[in-house]
């Protein structure tokens, strides 16, 4: 589904050579796979996540490498084609829904906009799709929540809205960037189960980025540890089980 070859991302420096934050990184994720990526703050996880969509944090730039999505190198595509793919084929779940949701627009309209822009759906069809995805992410009373504003929702519910926006177009590849870090343990478990279920139902692959290696141990089939812009360790877990027991990891 997605493969990186020699990806290098740099940030300019006031004096001296650019600062390299991702170095010659190789990575491959199969269709339907949930791949875990863990690392401390500053390891380059978010830079990698945004670079997959060819949107490295400003003023960073992708200096070299290939980003292959279904065999096509995203580095060779024009911006207009990339804009059509983002949200439709490649989607991202952000860690802070309060900063990403527009506070002046009802959440239903924000979900509908994704369907209308990327799928060219009519307003009636977009409204139906928005209701369906709200039910899928287990938002109670979805008809009433369609007209709610972000500030009227709890943190867990706002995170579910962000997930709904990311999944309404049934993307083939999802980047989850520390999406559960701000949630309490109970809501976190619900969101993880939800992501796993929806990814399986829709046949999506996922890069699951987190700082909690305990989560990846029973949620992801493969796990990589990132440090200082490089993949340091790879692990393969046993087949996923709903049991809370952490599976044995082997090199």
Phi then psi for residue 194, to 5 deg, are -65, -45
> Is the distance from CB of 138 to CB of 194 less than 8 angstroms?
yes
Judgement on whether residues 185 and 82 belong to the same structural domain of the protein? yes
pLDDT in tens, 90-125: 988 887 787 789 999 999 999 999 999 999 999 999
Judgement on whether residues 83 and 1 belong to the same structural domain of the protein? yes
CATH code of the domain in which 206 resides: 3.40.50.300
Judgement on whether residues 160 and 181 belong to the same structural domain of the protein? no
pLDDT in tens, 187-242: 777 777 777 777 777 778 889 888 877 778 777 888 888 988 888 876 665 444 43
**Dist CA 104 CA 97 (whole Å):** 14
Judgement on whether residues 150 and 33 belong to the same structural domain of the protein? no
Judgement on whether residues 11 and 79 belong to the same structural domain of the protein? yes
Q: Which domain holds residue 10?
A: 1-89+174-251
Per-residue confidence (pLDDT) for residue 245, from 0 to 100 = 36
Nearest to 160 by CA among 186, 135, 126: 135
The pair of three-digit structure tokens given for residue 187, joined into one six-digit string: 């809501």
pLDDT in tens, 124-142: 999 999 999 898 888 888 9
Judgement on whether residues 82 and 148 belong to the same structural domain of the protein? no
Q: What is the pTM of this model?
A: 0.81
Into how many domains does the chain fold? Answer: 2
Judgement on whether residues 26 and 65 belong to the same structural domain of the protein? yes
Judgement on whether residues 76 and 103 belong to the same structural domain of the protein? no
For residue 177, give Cα distances in angstroms to 32, 37, 44: 18, 9, 11
**Dist CA 216 CA 113 (whole Å):** 32
Judgement on whether residues 127 and 202 belong to the same structural domain of the protein? no
Per-residue confidence (pLDDT) for residue 237, from 0 to 100 = 56
Per-residue confidence (pLDDT) for residue 95, from 0 to 100 = 77
């Amino acid at each position: 589904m997605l493969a990186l070859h020699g990806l290098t991302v740099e940030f300019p420096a006031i004096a001296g050579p650019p600062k390299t934050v991702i170095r010659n990184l190789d990575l491959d994720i199969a269709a339907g796979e949930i791949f875990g990526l863990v690392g401390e703050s500053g390891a380059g996880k978010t830079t990698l996540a945004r670079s997959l969509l060819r949107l490295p944090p400003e003023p960073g730039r992708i200096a070299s490498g290939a980003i292959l999505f279904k065999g096509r190198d995203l580095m060779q595509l024009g911006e207009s084609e990339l804009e059509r793919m983002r949200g439709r084929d490649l989607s991202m779940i952000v860690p802070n829904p309060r900063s990403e949701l527009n506070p002046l627009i009802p959440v239903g309209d924000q979900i509908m906009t994704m369907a209308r822009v990327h799928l060219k759906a009519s307003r009636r069809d977009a409204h139906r799709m928005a209701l369906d995805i709200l039910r899928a992410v287990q938002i109670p009373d979805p008809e009433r929540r369609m007209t709610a504003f972000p500030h009227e929702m709890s943190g867990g519910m706002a995170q579910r809205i962000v997930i709904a926006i990311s999944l309404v177009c049934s993307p083939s590849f999802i980047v989850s960037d520390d999406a559960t870090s701000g949630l309490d343990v109970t809501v976190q478990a619900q969101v993880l189960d939800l992501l796993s279920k929806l990814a399986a139902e829709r046949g999506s692959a996922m890069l699951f980025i987190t700082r909690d290696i305990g989560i990846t141990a029973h949620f992801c089939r493969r796990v990589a540890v990132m440090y200082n812009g490089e993949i340091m360790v790879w692990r393969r877990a046993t087949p996923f089980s709903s049991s809370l027991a952490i599976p044995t990891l082997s090199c």
